[in-house]
Chain A
Amino acid sequence: MALSAYIAVSAVLFALGIVCIVTRRNIIYVLMGIEMILNAANINFVAFARFNGDGLDGQMMAIFVIILAAAEAAVALAIVLNVFHLFETVKPSEVDLMRD
């Protein structure tokens, strides 16, 4: 397959991640959308590295993105649990303590 096919898949995945973040009213869905967007970026990194033929750089970048995604998921879920404990809701629009 050509490079453009992989980029097309990545663009669709990115768009669906944005839709997931924007249209659903639940913090868990926001996290899922972020993971989708990171996956789209990873597909782009690996595809460009493969078709450029320039060694390991793209794959290394993707590995570090995966590592940071794992750290982000852990911290974000801890924050979600605290938000639910304090506000008894998981809707991002209802967490408005600092709005006067």
Chain B
Amino acid sequence: MKAPSTIFYALLGLGSLAGLALGLASAGTHGLLFALFTILVVGGSLMCVFEPSVVRSAFCLVGTFGGTAGLFLLLGADFLAMSQLLIYVGGILALLLFGVMLTPPDLSERRLPRVLGGLAAVGVIVAFFVGKVAGVARWVQTPQLKAPVSRTEEIGVGFLAANEYMIAFELAAVVLTVALVAAVYIARRRKEDLTENEDRPSEPFAAQVSQVSQAHAESH
């Protein structure tokens, strides 16, 4: 299993260098930054798909999320970029790593032919639809972009002004509260489970159910 990963990382490195050179040649510093963030996004998610280990995949997602934050910066959405870094890299990724640590590792789960086949199939489908859209869309040239509206004050005013996003803001607060309390409630170990586990250790729920259903079938 050593050779495929070597080839993969060599191709990834070569592609990154070519992309950086292309970006620098086509649009100067801005193009270089765009190429850098694009490589972070695409390379991070490619590595996440290819890595056999779940922990490594989760850390590869740092590149994806950080690169997305960089693209937001280039698009003039500073507040959004910082929120992306805080919430995704700081929050969601930490949650995913907790999930990784609380579940068993399975290094034999990744099948390289299946990953490559899925990559080819999804690539063909997405390329088909992109071709369709590119044939229909009429690109309007915007030679002079306006200054971006992303100052934190404006976003805060948008959140709190009654005729803009205030209701959505309050609803998001309610949804977050309900979802997090519900997550804690679902995830906690219940007391009856713990006492039951002391009596009968290491018997999974599915086995219990199959025993019950077998007994039920025998009684008929």
Contacts and interface: CB of A to CB of B under 8 A. Distances in A.
* Same complex origin of A and B: yes
The main secondary structure of chain A at its interface with chain B is helix
Contacts, number: 218
Interface string B181-220: 0111011010001000000000011100100000000000
A43 B68 contact: yes
A16 B46 contact: yes
Contacts of A46: 71-72, 75, 77, 80
Contacts of B49: 16, 19-20, 23-24
Interface residues of A, number: 69
A66 B84 contact: yes
B126 A36 contact: no
A77 B209 contact: no
Most buried by A among B96, B158, B180: B96
A19 B176 CA distance: 29
Contacts of B168: 60, 64
A50 B145 contact: yes
A39 to B, nearest CB: 5
Interface string A48-91: 00110101100110111011111111110111111011111011
Most buried by B among A36, A63, A80: A63
Given A29-B54, A78-B183, A5 B34 contact: yes
A68 B77 contact: no
A41 B88 CA distance: 15
8 contacts: A4-B139, A9-B42, A20-B49, A24-B49, A24-B109, A26-B106, A71-B179, A90-B104
Q: Closest 8 CB pairs between A and B?
A: A71-B179, A78-B187, A86-B205, A23-B118, A78-B186, A16-B45, A78-B183, A74-B183
Interface of B: 27, 30-31, 34, 38, 41-42, 45-46, 48-49, 54, 57-58, 61, 64-65, 68, 71-72, 74-77, 79-80, 83-84, 87-88, 91-92, 95-96, 98-100, 102-104, 106, 109-111, 114-115, 117-119, 122-123, 126, 130, 134, 139, 142, 145-146, 148-150, 154-155, 158, 165, 168, 172, 175-176, 179-180, 182-184, 186-187, 189, 193, 204-206, 209
